[in-house]
Structure 1
Amino acid sequence: MHDHTSPEPVALPLGGGISRADDHAFLQRLIRTLDSSHPAPDRLAASFLARFGSAGMALSAHVGALDEVAGRETVLPPLLAVVTEAALRLYRARVRRTDILAGQAGLEAYLQACMGHEVIEQFRVLFLDEDFHLLADELMGTGTVNHSPVYPREIMRRALKLGARRLVLAHNHPAGQPEPSSADIEMTLRIAQIGKLMQVTVHDHIIVGNGRTHSFRAAGLLI
């Protein structure tokens, strides 16, 4: 017989970072909530942290990767996928309400959640208005583990249709670090040059990889 009593709420710190102990407590509570009959939520929470590094990265992982840790006999992976989708929608709503310049950390966290565990390369574009508010977040290309096709003129055509004046480009490096390749830099500068002709500014290009992000603007590659 299993105890179906709701677990006590986990108090997370509102200021500053979230510790590994907080992440463990949160994951343990989430596992108990989604699967009250799970025999060892404490051990599974620890396994998620060992594999993914944090609760956030665990929740953004693919169902297949979650299956490898949780085991296929549990219902947890697909339920966690629903939780992840809910979190992404909350992130997206927050990004829409926030000036991108004032919310860089949140923007990078959102992109990490969207693409951090993708096994193929994706290229996204965030289309912004003059005041840096999000008009649309669209996937503009998918490819292989180390390449996704990018068509600058299609990006600009979409920007003009949306009335966007600024862009944030984003893609992931599934197989490595987030530092840009020479091809990444060349492609970004090409898009920026075409944008200038159309009065559309490439504000930043953010690469997601290996749990970290790389901002072209912060690195001085875009001015």
Structure 2
Amino acid sequence: MPDNATAQARQPQVDGAISHAADLAFLRDLIRTLDTGHPAPDRLAASLLARFGSAGMALSAHVGALDEMAGRETALPPFLAVVRELALRLYRSRVRRMDMLSGQDGLVAYLQACMGHEVVEQFRVMFLDEHFRLLADDLMGTGTVNHSPVYPREIMRRALKLGAAKLVLAHNHPAGRPEPSGADIEMTMRIVQLGRLMRVTVHDHIIVGNGRVHSFRAMGLIT
């Protein structure tokens, strides 16, 4: 007979939402599959869910955080890292096929997956054509825990090479709070102004934290 978590996981989800019980059952079954000798898959699944909030966020966690949670003596962290890479590849393929205007939720999910749990700041740029289709997704800078180098002229040079008409900027805040700093706003406005000169529009700047996001466009900082 299936246990309660598995039974609940098989129930239809309302409006596509995934329940806590479904995430718990998925993580537990994944742990059992990847490490058949794990002594406490239920306890580890519950710990991962408590720490990261969802199965998706747990699988997108930095490998160091997974080591801390699962323990280096188990085979789980490298296996989970492979699962994470597979998930990121699926996200990337979906992002490349979608219209960024209609696929904002998918874009945010992708950015959370690839940047949300990084321990240092990263700065990415999505280069789009005039119809909001993705031309390239480039990691343009990696820095420290609270800073990543950004070079507006390099961004514009890449945009012109690709023939991009629009940009979506993105970076992460490893501390978890996605609200922009004064430096974030100033840097974004420099890119916006340079883009106007080059006839390249900055459509949005998205900051991701641990499970939270901040959109400059949604907050009226970019129009």
* TM-score by shorter chain over 0.5: yes
**1:182 counterpart residue number:** 182
Q: Aligned letter for 1:217? A: R
Pairwise CA RMSD: 1.6
Q: Please give the alpha-carbon distance, in whole angstroms, between the structure 2 residues aligned to 1:14 and 1:101.
A: 25
Q: Please give the alpha-carbon distance, in whole angstroms, between the structure 2 residues aligned to 1:95 and 1:53.
A: 23
Q: Aligned letter for 1:122? A: Q
Quote how far apart the aligned CAs of 1:136 are. Answer: 0.7
Partner deviation per Cα, 1:77-101 (whole Å, 9 max, x = no partner): 1100111111111111111111001
Aligned 1:178-217 pairs, distance under 5 A: 178-217=178-217
Aligned 1:74-153 pairs, distance under 5 A: 74-153=74-153
Q: Aligned letter for 2:111? A: L
Partner deviation per Cα, 1:146-192 (whole Å, 9 max, x = no partner): 11110000000001101111000000111241000111111111101
Q: Please give the alpha-carbon distance, in whole angstroms, between the structure 1 residues aligned to 2:133 and 2:222.
A: 20
Q: Aligned letter for 2:70? A: A
Q: Please give the alpha-carbon distance, in whole angstroms, between the structure 1 residues aligned to 2:156 and 2:180.
A: 22
**2:3 counterpart residue number:** none
SS of 1:72's equivalent in the other structure is coil
SS of 1:180's equivalent in the other structure is coil
Q: Aligned letter for 1:220? A: G
CA contact (8 A) 2:120 2:142 kept: yes
Q: Please give the alpha-carbon distance, in whole angstroms, between the structure 2 residues aligned to 1:129 and 1:23.
A: 37
CA contact (8 A) 2:176 2:212 kept: no
- Identity of counterpart residues, as a percentage? 79
**1:159 counterpart residue number:** 159
TM-score normalised over the length of structure 1 = 0.93
**1:59 counterpart residue number:** 59
Q: Please give the alpha-carbon distance, in whole angstroms, between the structure 1 residues aligned to 2:210 and 2:39.
A: 31
Quote how far apart the aligned CAs of 1:14 are. Answer: 7.3
Unaligned runs of 5+ in 1: 1-6
Q: Aligned letter for 2:201? A: T
SS of 2:117's equivalent in the other structure is coil
Quote how far apart the aligned CAs of 1:210 are. Answer: 2.7
The total of aligned residue pairs comes to 217
Which runs of 4 or more aligned residues in structure 1 lie more than 4 Å from their structure 2 counterparts after TM superposition? none
TM-score normalised over the length of structure 2 = 0.93
Quote how far apart the aligned CAs of 1:36 are. Answer: 1.6
CA contact (8 A) 2:166 2:201 kept: yes
Quote how far apart the aligned CAs of 1:127 are. Answer: 0.5
Q: Aligned letter for 1:30? A: L
**1:24 counterpart residue number:** 24
Q: Please give the alpha-carbon distance, in whole angstroms, between the structure 2 residues aligned to 1:187 and 1:68.
A: 35
Quote how far apart the aligned CAs of 1:119 are. Answer: 0.6
Aligned 1:26-45 pairs, distance under 5 A: 26-45=26-45
Q: Name the stretch that deviates more: 202-211 or 35-44.
A: 35-44
Q: 1:64 to 1:24 in 2, by over 3 A?
A: same
Quote how far apart the aligned CAs of 1:196 are. Answer: 0.9
Q: 1:36 to 1:14 in 2, by over 3 A?
A: farther
Q: Please give the alpha-carbon distance, in whole angstroms, between the structure 1 residues aligned to 2:128 and 2:182.
A: 26
